[in-house]
A and B are shown apart, each in its own frame.
Chain A
Amino acid sequence: MPAGKLIDMYAVQVFVAVTEEGSMSGAASRMGISQSGCRRWFGNWRTISA
């Protein structure tokens, strides 16, 4: 997540879903989106800038 950008609540929900479900497929199912979509949203969270 780049510095200065507002945190997207949807991205937060995807992050929580992936980490709680332990898999992209579980998270995608919980969020009602495709696995590739889920991976893309989660990918945004690799790092967070100070």
Chain B
Amino acid sequence: MILVDRTTRPLTLTPFGLALRNRGAILSEELCNLKAQVLDAGRGVKPDLRIGLVDSFAATCGSAFTRQMLGRVAQLSVRTGLSPQQGESLLRRDLDLIITSDPLMDANDVVRYRLFTERYFVITPKALDKPLQSLDDLRALANVLPVVRFNRLSQVGLQIERHMRGLGVRMPNRLELDNADALTAMVADGIGWAVTSPMCFLQACTWVENVTAHLVPQLSLERSLYLVARRNEYSAFFADACETARNVILDTFLPRLSALGKGVETLVTIDEEDSREYF
């Protein structure tokens, strides 16, 4: 039985070849899952794990999370980066578990757990002694001071951009940065104002003394961080990781946020333990 028609360029598959490819792809996928499924069946066996952490989580909670995870795995490899890259790596099997702001809603065969939700707020240079309470105040600010924005290739940057456009706040593109630390530093230095999240704010804790935080209720923009893994792989371990990450948020992240003394910890909400969401 001929599998490949070599008289055409590019070569094409015969019906036999198509059957082999389609069934072979399923078998290959199963093979890739084999190790995780065997480890899962053994439960007590410690896996080698590759974890991806979104930058803001890595900078604020990464060390506490990693320290606790180390006791549960044989070998741990941690990679940090932007959420879209983490998601792609998980689906490509370059990573086994990710903490990300992108729940990969379009992907089948992944399981997600929401760690917490945080509302965005506005930061301005401390020298700019002017309270911001409404969207009109924000529009007025946008007319006199440039916005310092997150890179629009990042999940946060894209989300803020879309939302502000929806609210009718026009923000000319002058300066964009790819990390929260540099963004807050620019604001602290008086270059402009920015929209940021509590976790990104904590990431830049060196600079927070020189900025003013404005919790503008009408901004009504929020993001959640999720723990995401491939479904039915390392499932016992996934539950452990969720518990660990939740404890790190409660015991490390929130107290450190409160210690900043800016009131931004009130923007963070965590699901009750009995209503946690796996989907």
What residues of chain A have their CB less than 8 Å away from a CB belonging to chain B?
Answer: 9, 12-13, 15-16, 19-20, 22-23, 45-50
Contact = CB atoms under 8 A, between A and B. Distances in A.
Given A19-B17, A45-B3, A46-B2, A13 B10 contact: no
B20 A22 contact: no
B17 A22 contact: no
Contacts of B3: 15, 45-48
15 contacts: A9-B31, A12-B28, A15-B20, A15-B24, A16-B24, A16-B25, A19-B13, A19-B21, A22-B10, A45-B3, A46-B3, A47-B3, A48-B3, A48-B20, A50-B1
Nearest to A45: B3
Interface of B: 1-4, 10, 13, 16-17, 20-21, 24-25, 27-28, 31
> Nearest 10 pairs between A and B by C-beta?
A12-B24, A16-B24, A19-B21, A16-B25, A13-B28, A48-B1, A16-B28, A47-B2, A45-B3, A16-B21
Contacts of A47: 1-3
Contacts of A15: 3, 20-21, 24
A26 B17 CA distance: 19
A47 B4 CA distance: 8
B25 A20 contact: yes
Nearest to B4: A46
Q: Which of B2, B24, B27, B28 has the most CB of A within 10 A?
A: B24
Given A12-B27, A15-B24, A20-B25, 15 more contacts: A12-B20, A13-B24, A13-B28, A16-B24, A16-B25, A19-B17, A19-B21, A45-B3, A46-B2, A47-B1, A47-B2, A47-B3, A48-B1, A48-B20, A50-B1
A9 B2 CA distance: 19
A20 B20 contact: no
Counting chain B CB atoms within 10 Å of each CB, the highest count among A19, A22, A45, A47 belongs to A19
Given A15-B21, A16-B24, A20-B21, A48 B16 contact: yes
A37 B24 CA distance: 19
A13 B21 contact: no
B4 A45 contact: yes
Nearest to A30: B92
A22 B31 CA distance: 22
A45 B1 CA distance: 10
Contacts of B24: 12-13, 15-16
A48 B73 CA distance: 43
A38 to B, nearest CB: 14
Contacts of A20: 21, 25
Contacts of B27: 9, 12
A31 B3 CA distance: 21
